[in-house]
Amino acid sequence: MNLPEHKKIILFDGVCNLCNRMVQFVIKHDKKDVFRFVALQSELGQEIQKHLGIVTKNIDSVILYDPGHAYYYKSSAAIEIIQEFGGIFYAAGLFKIIPNDLRNGIYDYIARNRYNWYGKTEHCMIPTPEIKAKFL
């Protein structure tokens, strides 16, 4: 895999409107240019999941991959991503005191209903030229 050095990779559902909004939120708040994005459905997304040993069938979670260090998924990924913004967002770490099973139960409920609540697109998000470099 040819991944950029010193960047954290966010794998997301490229056809999910909620997920696409999350990506836009991260891009807006990623002032330190920490993140790069890959759709779970893409060839590279599939390759990263295989490399991590994640079963790709029916994946319904955001995955944060910090190459050479660790990976996170579901609520843990969301918390790690938000904390990276610093400032008031760092307080998101307080959610770690909630048991992982409870956090992921809520996460799974939202994930199961995301297409019904937020809709689904037929294609992955097409970034503007200004943010295209953030996508792998």
Q: Which amino acid is located at 51 in the chain? A: H
**Cα angle: 4, vertex 7, 12; to 5 degrees:** 95
Weakest-pLDDT range from 13-17, 36-40, 80-84, 89-93:
13-17
Q: pTM to 2 decimals?
A: 0.89
- DSSP track, 85-128: T-GGGGGGGGGGGS-HHHHHHHHHHHHHHHHHHH-B-SS-----
Residue-wise pLDDT tens digits, 3-58: 888 999 999 988 888 988 999 999 999 999 999 999 998 999 999 999 998 876 66
Tokens of 39: 């759709």
